[in-house]
Every structure is written in structure tokens, then in C-alpha cells.
Amino acid sequence: MENANNDDKFQGFGDDPNLTHLRVGTEPQILEILTDPYVIYRSNRYAPVVKVKEVSSDKEYILYISSTSLAQELEDIRTFDGDGSMVGIKIAVNKDSDDRFAKYEVSVE
């Protein structure tokens, strides 16, 4: 039987255990968003993520997007031009302080 999910639109989705999550600091990091949001199961819970590529190194990561400050910024970006997708958009992302619960700052590059 053929796999019903063998469709190009599903490429890049799923939990790739080889991808680590991106740790965001106070210095802006330039990222290219590679997927729209999806969920993965890690640490006994589901978590929303996007797959990103760090532009300076071409290294791919997952970026957890459950933080309210990050989610709001990404939703504004996602809905800005009307197509509803973030794929291919380059952003600069950083936290506004070293505090673990610091707000994210995001801008389109």
C-alpha cells in the first residue's frame, strides 16, 4: 500500500532527532524560515516549532515558538502579505535580555 503522506507538501515535517533546537541569545541571529509551524513530541509533550536555517552557517535547527512574544511576532509576519506562509522569510531574532523569560525581538531582513 502506498503511503498517503508521500506528498511534497509534507517534506520537512516531522521530528528529526538530528536537529537540535536553536538557543536564542541577546545578539541578533539571521535565520531563514524553512517550514510553517508544526508540532513535535519531545520531553513528554507536544511543542510548536518551525525549522530554520542560520544564514551565517547554513546549519539547520528547530526553533520552539511557544513563547507569546515570539509567536505574536511570527504571526504578524505570517499574515502580513496575505499568503499565510512564513517559508523563505529571513528574520533577525534575539532576546531583549539574558533573563530566561526575556521577550523575543524579531524583525524581517
Share of the chain above pLDDT 70, in %: 84
Question: How confident is the model at residue 71, as a pLDDT?
Answer: 95
Element (H, E) at 94: strand 90-95
pLDDT: which is higher, 100 or 18? 100
SS3 9: helix
- Reported as a single tens digit per residue, the pLDDT across 67-108 is 999 999 999 988 887 688 999 999 999 999 999 999 999 999
**Residue 67 class from Cβ within 10 Å (0-12 exposed, 13-18 middle, 19+ buried)?**
middle
Say what the pLDDT of residue 5 is.
41
Domain range annotation of the chain: 18-108
pTM: predicted TM-score of the whole model, two decimal places: 0.82
